[in-house]
Chains A and B, each alone.
Chain A
Amino acid sequence: MRLAPAVLLAACSGATPTVGAVAPALVCAGVRVTVTGSEFRPLAGPEPTLSLPQGFLLPAQGEPIALEGTHWDSQSQMSFAVPAGTRPGAYGVAVRNPDGSEGSLAAALALIAPPVVDELTRACGGAPDVEVRGAGFVFVGGRGPTVLLGGASYAARDPAACAPLPAPAQGMICSRFHLSVPEGVSGGIATIENPAVGGCAAETVVAAVSTGPAVSRLDACGGTLRLRGAGFEAGAVVTLAGARVGATYVDDTTLILDAPAPAGPVAVEVANPDGCHASGTVAVGHAAVLGVVPPVLPAGRAVTATVTMTGLDPDAVSVGGAAIPVQRIPGRPSLYQVAIPAQAAGLVAVVAEEPGCNAQLVVPVAAPTLALARVAPRWLRTGRFVAVALWGDGLAGAPTVALTRTGAGGALRASLGFSAAIATGIVPPVPAGGYDVVAVSSDGRVGYLPDAVRVGPAAPAIDAVSPGAFAGVSTGPLLVRGSGFTSASRVTLRCPDPTPPLAVTSLTADALRATLPGGIVDPTCVVRVTNGDPSDPEAPYAESGTLEVRGDKLDPFETGLPGLVAAREAPAMVAGRATGAARFLYVLGGDAGSASLALASVEAAPLGPDGEVGAFAPLRSSLLVPRTLHGAVRVGRDIYVVGGANAGGTIAGVERARVLDPLEAPDFMDVSVGNGVLAGTHAWMVSARGGPDGESLPSDPWTLTATGSITLTWAPMPGATSYRVYRDGRLVVETPDPRATDDGLVARAEVPLAVGALGPFRAAGQLALPRQAAGVALAHAPDGMPYIYVGGGAASDWATVYDGFEAAPVGPDGPGAFAAAGSIGTARALLPAFVVDDSVDPSVQGSYVYFGAGATAAPGPSVPSNRVNETTAGAVGAGGALAPAQVKTTQMAGAAGVASAGCLHSMGGFPLVGSRGDDGCLGPAPPDLVAWHGAGNGAISDGRALMGAAVERGWIYVAGGTTSLALQPTTIVERTRW
């Protein structure tokens, strides 16, 4: 109920706040600042409510601007976020207590815009001096921006066109400076970071480091010959094949030459009036409209399409007879964005025209028949690559998926159909706003989903939620890890009806803890973090995967999943992510019945958004040596394989391979069309070779309709020694140059790697002792350093079974030296190792490693009578120190083990008693366990041992193993929720 007048009088009698300083004092919009002073006094109310002091920016003119993301640290310190979009300038800062008293500090904060690079120009003659032109370059105390280009960092010098920074900042803000950049660094993504400025780094695509004039190609069209390049000046003199020709200046990228079109590549020299000149042999390109994304337009829907054109550079194109301005894409001279209005079903011509020259491409327009349901996440943060999943139909294979809204859009990268119903991909950075989605299936059907995605600066993201399952009836802790959390973040459960906001107990930008409310009887829930009012449909939010509401025991394992390609006993299994949405199970090695039949092969299966398992397929990468009874762990993108045995005996070696990143692939930059015979529509991809991870994943396909030879260029990749170009999925050429021409090259058998592929395995150290059937785990020390622990295990002949464990830290270049680190208690092999941390139970602080029950006999009939019923565990200390002590134990050997939702789960094992499984749950003082008890319905479906096991986002997977004491490997794969 509200009354008017609202408040007749509000009087204050508390202390008046003072503002002493703001840090950093020089920032860009969107960053947090810390305000120090005194008497910042919150006011509690009886409901209970809490009113915090509010911060304001005080511009020289105009109304105060409320700061966001208020966080109170003490009466003398608070922090706030400067609202995105705030205008650059000098600001005072005020703090107003809830009782109305207010203090301020004039000229407390200087706000500037992020730096922008317009052009990099190298001095004539190839000198290392490069002039950078743009805006927002800060120089403080003689230090200027740092520029990261082509993998190297360059310091700015010689600022020019400068003005003083707004008060209170000291220094200059300039629009020009110089760098020393070696010849050969030609362009790419430049990252510019200003000194002493909070949150002000910016990325800019630099098409090329201009060296005065540059020549790129000759466009011949309609009897007119255009020289394309950069840095041309009026009055430039052009020499063609050694003969001077007349040249008419159009703009700094185009000269019209008074000469007939050469038949093929020709030597060209351009000399500007200032004396700078450029020369080179350039191809003669023909005007063509080569492609449109999406390749099929949805009838009745406006779409912002990406059009590939070459040989002309118009300011507008004609679509269905209507002239539409084009928007050039920086750094991609043949790509243009065109806002195409709604078209009727049929065919529509996209016509590009310059004086005396035109080209066109006919594009199909079809009624949307591809049903699209939703995109998750719905809210994406601006300025980032974000992996998404799309639900619909007809999405198998590699559908073309694009975001579109008026004037902006972009195709998803690494688009991959998990099934007919689900595809994944990566949304590139696009401007803020709401977007529709257009998808075109492999068979040419088109779908359209309006208002599918929102992009904004305040969108949160959820990476992981702990626990993955919870008892709904009682309260408990909840941990949400992600990014973009603010003081405005609110947590609710959707079960599916929304709960009231949960009580938040701690909050940082990337982790949020809250209290589960209890009283939930629904079978599943999802966690939603809303940056704003959860009831506001316009508030940005992120949602987790499904959390199961249950007790300690697991649900029954699902059977009937796609099986392994090869039956594998004692394989290792890990889950890995090619992108945040494209996730895979990797099953490595194992054997076909004995160590002498150990396997080196690796297979993988994609996982759907809700943990669905796709078909397994062999990978191109194999282990360096065959291994069985080994272990595997993943650190970031790196998969480490440890120990094991093969026909040669027990193995001490460690090897690793990387889950390849689709974004670490070459980017196509340009295309031109020459004389030739190639015709038809084809899709080209390019990959790089030569780095430590072997061949990269290919670029996204560039689908073009050829009317002659196609010459492609792409951005060079650091470390690449050659590039492979694929046409329609088959290799056509491998070249050391970042360009290739295809005029119907013969396609070879080689195909590009697929998303989910691993790089080659390579040696990554040695265990102190060769071990097979050891327990292998990855845990983090208190300082965050990951350590690999390898405990127990057996020597080659099983006459020696180890009671010790060894450990090694894992850095970015692989593990350090493994060294003996203590005892696991009674000697045993065939034991699982578990790791418990706050990802398993949010109430756990630190990490604990458990070594489970095992045996002293080799896999086979003698295991049941040689079991070691012992579980030992300890906390991971500084430097990875670990001192396992006995805790409650189960009685299985050769079991697969995982930890989830506050419990350890031991699955299968010897003796092969039906579908055996045991759960041991954490007590109040980890690593103590309350007890182990039978898993009941939550056991695996078939009694077996020596399986691989992995946990990925709320699901437990087991694969392979043996179904009998006679050691018969199996292909069975099962899963259950946490």
Chain B
Amino acid sequence: MVRALLVLLLAFEARAEWVAGARAGVAFPRELDPCLVVGIEAGRYFGPVGVLAAAELEQPSGEVHGTDPGVGAYAARLTRRTFSTSLRLAGRVELPDATPYAAVGARLVVASLRSNGAAGAQPFGESVDTRVEPAVELSAGARLGPFVGEFLFYRGEETGAVELRVGYAFTF
């Protein structure tokens, strides 16, 4: 499998190009409010296939409501600050007006979840749970000029997200 991939990359060496850029956009995480996401990305494309490294930062927040047998109904305010780095294997199709792509990779996530809620009149008090762990990720999206739309899923042991992102990419 790896050998086949290397053969494929070498075949496209003639059409290889370096890419680097920065991105800023809006992420739409499930359960939490939309938030700003910023990041940088660099890598090399061998024709339609590329290997990309990225780092990004986001901090969504929001209010959740739920019921737990141990407390009854509760509400909580959450802020999840996530810094992550990833290494992706991407595939793209260069069309005249757009470049759709999909990627799979590994991600190292530093997630800090800040929670403060209450059940009835009893406040939970603020708790912060910080974790560093590996995750796998899947993404798919498209570039239209400098604009990027992307669907991202990643999942680790304790952390994970499903996000829809739209943003602007600066290519160096």
B66 near A43 (CB under 8 angstroms)?
A: no
Give, as a whole number of angstroms, the nearest-CB distance from A676 to chain B. Answer: 63
Task: Assess whether B128 is interfacial by the CB under 8 Å rule.
Answer: yes
A6 near B67 (CB under 8 angstroms)?
A: no
**Residue numbers in B under 8 Å from A6 (CB-CB):** 133, 157-158
**Residue numbers in A under 8 Å from B156 (CB-CB):** 3, 7
Q: In this complex, what residue of B is CB-closest to A47?
A: B31
State which size class the interface on A falls in: 35 or more
CA distance A503 to B72 in the complex (A): 9
A14 near B132 (CB under 8 angstroms)?
A: no
CB-CB contacts of A559-577 with B at 8 A, as 1s and 0s? 0000000000000000000
CB-CB contacts of A65-105 with B at 8 A, as 1s and 0s? 00000111111000000000000000000000111100000
Task: Assess whether A487 is interfacial by the CB under 8 Å rule.
Answer: yes
Given the interface contacts A3-B157, A46-B62, does A39 sit within 8 Å of B72 by beta carbon?
A: no
B131 near A10 (CB under 8 angstroms)?
A: yes
A487 near B133 (CB under 8 angstroms)?
A: no
A72 near B71 (CB under 8 angstroms)?
A: yes
Q: In this complex, what residue of B is CB-closest to A4?
A: B157
B136 near A3 (CB under 8 angstroms)?
A: yes
Task: Assess whether A847 is interfacial by the CB under 8 Å rule.
Answer: no
B127 near A7 (CB under 8 angstroms)?
A: no
A43 near B113 (CB under 8 angstroms)?
A: yes
Contacts of A22-36 to chain B: CB distance below 8 A: none
Given the interface contacts A1-B155, A73-B122, does A49 sit within 8 Å of B66 by beta carbon?
A: yes
Contacts of B28-80 to chain A: CB distance below 8 A: 29-32, 62, 64-74, 76, 78, 80
CA distance A70 to B133 in the complex (A): 28
Within the complex, which residue of A5, A14, A505 is in contact with B126, where a contact is CB–CB below 8 Å?
A: A14
Within the complex, which residue of B31, B65, B69 is in contact with A487, where a contact is CB–CB below 8 Å?
A: B69
Within the complex, which residue of A3, A46, A75 is in contact with B123, where a contact is CB–CB below 8 Å?
A: A75
Within the complex, which residue of B72, B127, B134 is in contact with A97, where a contact is CB–CB below 8 Å?
A: B127
Q: In this complex, what residue of A is CB-closest to B123?
A: A75
**Residue numbers in A under 8 Å from B122 (CB-CB):** 73-75
B129 near A12 (CB under 8 angstroms)?
A: yes
B123 near A50 (CB under 8 angstroms)?
A: no
B129 near A50 (CB under 8 angstroms)?
A: no
Contacts of A235-249 to chain B: CB distance below 8 A: none
**Residue numbers in A under 8 Å from B71 (CB-CB):** 42, 50, 52, 71-72
A43 near B129 (CB under 8 angstroms)?
A: yes
B30 near A46 (CB under 8 angstroms)?
A: yes
CB-CB contacts of B73-113 with A at 8 A, as 1s and 0s? 11010101000000000000000000000000000000001
Task: Assess whether B139 is interfacial by the CB under 8 Å rule.
Answer: no
Task: Assess whether B171 is interfacial by the CB under 8 Å rule.
Answer: no
Within the complex, which residue of B31, B125, B133 is in contact with A8, where a contact is CB–CB below 8 Å?
A: B133
Q: In this complex, what residue of A is CB-closest to B30?
A: A46
Give, as a whole number of angstroms, the nearest-CB distance from A195 to chain B. Answer: 31
Contacts of A469-520 to chain B: CB distance below 8 A: 487-490, 503-507
**Residue numbers in A under 8 Å from B155 (CB-CB):** 1
B68 near A50 (CB under 8 angstroms)?
A: yes
Task: Assess whether B27 is interfacial by the CB under 8 Å rule.
Answer: no
The residue in B31, B62, B69 that gathers the most chain A C-beta atoms within 10 A of its C-beta is: B69
A506 near B72 (CB under 8 angstroms)?
A: yes
**Residue numbers in A under 8 Å from B32 (CB-CB):** 46
Given the interface contacts A45-B78, A45-B115, A505-B72, does A15 sit within 8 Å of B133 by beta carbon?
A: no
Task: Assess whether B18 is interfacial by the CB under 8 Å rule.
Answer: no
Q: In this complex, what residue of A is CB-closest to B155?
A: A1
CA distance A98 to B127 in the complex (A): 8
Within the complex, which residue of A39, A48, A487, A490 is in contact with B70, where a contact is CB–CB below 8 Å?
A: A487
A7 near B129 (CB under 8 angstroms)?
A: no
Within the complex, which residue of B31, B132, B133, B157 is in contact with A48, where a contact is CB–CB below 8 Å?
A: B31
Task: Assess whether B170 is interfacial by the CB under 8 Å rule.
Answer: no
Within the complex, which residue of B65, B67, B133, B158 is in contact with A505, where a contact is CB–CB below 8 Å?
A: B67
Contacts of A444-490 to chain B: CB distance below 8 A: 487-490
Task: Assess whether A61 is interfacial by the CB under 8 Å rule.
Answer: no
Q: In this complex, what residue of A is CB-closest to B31?
A: A46
B31 near A503 (CB under 8 angstroms)?
A: no
**Residue numbers in A under 8 Å from B149 (CB-CB):** none
Q: In this complex, what residue of B is CB-closest to A78?
A: B70
**Residue numbers in B under 8 Å from A489 (CB-CB):** 69
A42 near B124 (CB under 8 angstroms)?
A: yes
Task: Assess whether A13 is interfacial by the CB under 8 Å rule.
Answer: yes
Task: Assess whether A41 is interfacial by the CB under 8 Å rule.
Answer: yes
Task: Assess whether A925 is interfacial by the CB under 8 Å rule.
Answer: no
CA distance A45 to B122 in the complex (A): 18
Q: In this complex, what residue of A is CB-closest to B62?
A: A46
CA distance A455 to B122 in the complex (A): 38
Q: In this complex, what residue of A is CB-closest to B125?
A: A41
Give, as a whole number of angstroms, the nearest-CB distance from B41 to chain A. Answer: 23
Within the complex, which residue of A13, A46, A97, A504 is in contact with B64, where a contact is CB–CB below 8 Å?
A: A46
Give, as a whole number of angstroms, the nearest-CB distance from A969 to chain B. Answer: 53
A14 near B128 (CB under 8 angstroms)?
A: yes
**Residue numbers in B under 8 Å from A488 (CB-CB):** 69
A2 near B157 (CB under 8 angstroms)?
A: yes
Q: In this complex, what residue of A is CB-closest to B130?
A: A11
Task: Assess whether B135 is interfacial by the CB under 8 Å rule.
Answer: yes
Task: Assess whether A267 is interfacial by the CB under 8 Å rule.
Answer: no
Task: Assess whether A263 is interfacial by the CB under 8 Å rule.
Answer: no
Task: Assess whether A44 is interfacial by the CB under 8 Å rule.
Answer: yes
**Residue numbers in A under 8 Å from B167 (CB-CB):** none
Task: Assess whether B119 is interfacial by the CB under 8 Å rule.
Answer: yes
B125 near A75 (CB under 8 angstroms)?
A: yes
CA distance A6 to B71 in the complex (A): 28
Give, as a whole number of angstroms, the nearest-CB distance from B22 to chain A. Answer: 27
Give, as a whole number of angstroms, the nearest-CB distance from A691 to chain B. Answer: 44
A7 near B157 (CB under 8 angstroms)?
A: yes
Q: In this complex, what residue of A is CB-closest to B61?
A: A46
B129 near A41 (CB under 8 angstroms)?
A: no
Q: In this complex, what residue of B is CB-closest to A9?
A: B132
Q: In this complex, what residue of B is CB-closest to A46?
A: B31
A44 near B66 (CB under 8 angstroms)?
A: yes
**Residue numbers in B under 8 Å from A97 (CB-CB):** 127
Give, as a whole number of angstroms, the nearest-CB distance from A81 to chain B. Answer: 12
Given the interface contacts A3-B134, A46-B30, does A504 sit within 8 Å of B69 by beta carbon?
A: yes
Q: List 19 A-B contacts (CB under 8 A).
A: A7-B131, A7-B156, A7-B157, A7-B158, A9-B133, A10-B129, A10-B158, A12-B128, A14-B128, A14-B129, A42-B115, A42-B117, A42-B124, A47-B31, A48-B66, A50-B74, A98-B129, A487-B70, A504-B67
- 11 further interface pairs, Cβ-Cβ under 8 Å (given A2-B157, A7-B157): A3-B133, A7-B132, A13-B128, A14-B127, A42-B115, A44-B78, A44-B117, A46-B64, A75-B124, A504-B69, A504-B72
Shortest 7 CB-CB contacts between residues of A and residues of B: A44-B76, A48-B66, A6-B157, A48-B64, A46-B31, A9-B132, A11-B130
